[in-house]
């Protein structure tokens, strides 16, 4: 995993150092911020790069996310795009769009997604929105279609409330969890599903389980079904039919594994509900994609909360909650250069948290 994170840092490179970067924490710690960045990134990677893909824990991700401009995170394995502020070409090939909320930088590209899939002859877009927002999302798409003079296009918009399951065509199970933004918002967890030996059979030998399976196949029962048939002479005849019913013994359970989680825009307050099972799954998903809009003291923690966004100080304060193998940080404010972002992460995150964080820097100079 560490190797893949190092590769992700390398793939995204580091631009030239900018004056006025947030270096206060580094100074306080007696280290140079640029030294800390260089410790993270091999010198060969210091040249800028415009890679659009990253691989984190074996999972390929692609997309762009800049606060107020556009967010779209594509997960080809799950055939999902999380949000669609504009519509990168590859997003069109993911049938499912999971919307965290309906700010324009997260939903503006949806008409392109719907129209392009139709033009390419692909199955209609499947869009998931927070509760109460499906009708508004349809209006957005239909207004664009009307302006285009386009004939009706097949697509679906569904709402997914907390506690509901949605099976995706890619085989993943999707659930939502509440987040805290300036309008109603939610994050998503995608689960893989695997068959596992039934809990009460754990510890039994292979031979015992084989015998159980065999027993299951051989257990049959004979059921006598009695029916009456009326005939024209008004004589009632009893008919007896023998039916054999096979009884099989199920020896496996389905286990759900949280693989990928996405927060969308949120303050750190979404972490407050410790009892929420889907939130807890998000915090132990192998890969968590989380917003990190503000990184410096020019915007205080309180101001960040007021704007509905995460501040790096709030992230550090909740470091113990994140059990993920990797955290992809997105949605940085456009005020930051990529060198600012890397310096902040290198100097402000404690080492254990820093080791699992990868910034998505596509489109950031």
Nearer to Zn ion, 105 or 314 (CB): 105
CB of 18 vs Zn ion, minimal distance in Å: 23
Closest CA to 156 of 120, 124, 116: 124
Tell me how long the chain is.
365
Q: What CA–CA distances, in Å, run from 176 to 126, 162, 258, 285?
A: 16, 5, 12, 13
Q: Identify which of residues 13 and 63 has a Cβ nearer to Zn ion in the complex.
A: 63
Give kind and range of the element (H or E) at residue 28: helix 24-28
Please, which of residues 85-124 interact with Zn ion by CB under 5 A? 103, 105
Query: Shortest distance, CB of residue 130 to Zn ion, whole angstroms?
Result: 12
Q: Given the complex with Zn ion, which of 259 and 265 has the nearer CB atom?
A: 265
Strands 96-98 and 80-82: parallel
Q: Which of 323, 289, 70, 116 shows the shortest CA–CA distance to 188?
A: 289
Question: Please, what is the minimum distance in Å from the beta carbon of residue 330 to Zn ion?
Answer: 9
The smaller minimum CB distance to Zn ion, of residues 57 and 361, is found at 361
Query: CB 12 → Zn ion: shortest distance, Å?
Result: 20
46 vs 140, beta carbon nearer Zn ion:
140
Q: Helix or strand or coil: residue 231?
A: coil
Q: Which is nearer to Zn ion, 265 or 314 (CB)?
A: 265
Minimum distance of Zn ion from residue 353's CB (angstroms): 23
Backbone angles phi, psi at 348, to 5 degrees: -100, -20
Site mask for Zn ion (CB under 5 A), range 255-294, x = bound: ----------x-----------------------------
Burial class (CB in 10 A: 0-12, 13-18, 19+), 220: exposed
Closest approach, Cβ 182 to Zn ion, in A, equals 7
- In three-state secondary structure terms, 83 is coil
Write down the least CB distance from residue 54 to Zn ion, Å.
20
β-pairing, 59-66 with 53-56?
A: antiparallel
Stretch (H or E) spanning 239: strand 236-246
Residue numbers 49-78 binding Zn ion by CB under 5 A: none
In whole angstroms, the minimum distance from the beta carbon of 90 to Zn ion comes to: 20
Contact 357, 40 (CB under 8 A): no
Q: Which is nearer to Zn ion, 107 or 145 (CB)?
A: 107
* Nearest residue (CB) to Zn ion, 105 versus 325: 105
Three-class secondary structure assignment of 131-142:
CCCHHHHHHHHH
Contacts with Zn ion, residue ranges (CB under 5 A): 103, 105, 265
């Amino acid at each position: 995993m560490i190797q893949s994170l190092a590769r992700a840092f390398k793939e995204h490179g580091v631009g030239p150092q900018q004056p006025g970067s947030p270096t206060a924490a580094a100074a306080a710690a007696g280290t140079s911020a640029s030294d800390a960045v260089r410790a993270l990134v091999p010198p060969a990677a210091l040249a800028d790069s415009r890679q659009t893909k990253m691989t984190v824990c074996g999972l390929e991700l692609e997309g762009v996310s800049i606060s107020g401009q556009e967010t779209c995170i594509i997960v080809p394995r799950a055939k999902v795009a999380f949000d669609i502020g504009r519509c990168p070409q590859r997003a069109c090939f993911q049938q499912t769009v999971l919307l965290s909320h309906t700010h324009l930088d997260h939903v503006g590209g949806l008409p392109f997604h719907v129209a392009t899939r139709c033009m390419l002859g692909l199955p209609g877009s499947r869009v998931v929105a927070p509760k109460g927002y499906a009708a508004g999302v349809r209006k957005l798409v239909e207004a664009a279609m009307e302006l285009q003079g386009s004939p009706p296009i097949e697509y679906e918009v569904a709402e997914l409330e907390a506690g509901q399951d949605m099976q995706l065509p890619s085989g993943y199970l999707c659930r939502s969890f509440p987040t805290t933004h300036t309008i109603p918002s939610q994050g998503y967890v995608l689960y893989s599903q695997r068959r596992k030996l039934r809990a009460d059979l754990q510890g039994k030998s292979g031979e015992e389980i084989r015998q159980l399976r065999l027993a299951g196949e051989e257990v049959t029962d004979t059921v006598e079904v009695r029916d009456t048939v009326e005939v024209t002479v008004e004589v009632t005849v009893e008919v007896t039919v023998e039916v054999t019913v096979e009884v099989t013994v199920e020896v496996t359970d389905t286990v759900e594994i949280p693989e990928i989680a996405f927060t969308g825009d949120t303050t750190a307050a979404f972490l407050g509900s410790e009892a929420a099972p889907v939130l807890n799954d998000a915090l132990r998903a192998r890969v968590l994609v989380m917003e990190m809009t503000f990184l410096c003291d020019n915007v205080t923690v309180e101001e960040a909360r007021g704007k509905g966004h995460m501040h790096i100080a709030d992230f550090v304060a909740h470091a113990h909650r994140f059990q993920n193998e990797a955290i992809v940080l997105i949605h940085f404010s456009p005020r930051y250069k990529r060198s600012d972002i890397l310096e902040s992460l290198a100097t402000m995150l404690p080492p254990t948290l820093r080791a699992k964080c990868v910034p998505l820097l596509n489109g950031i100079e």
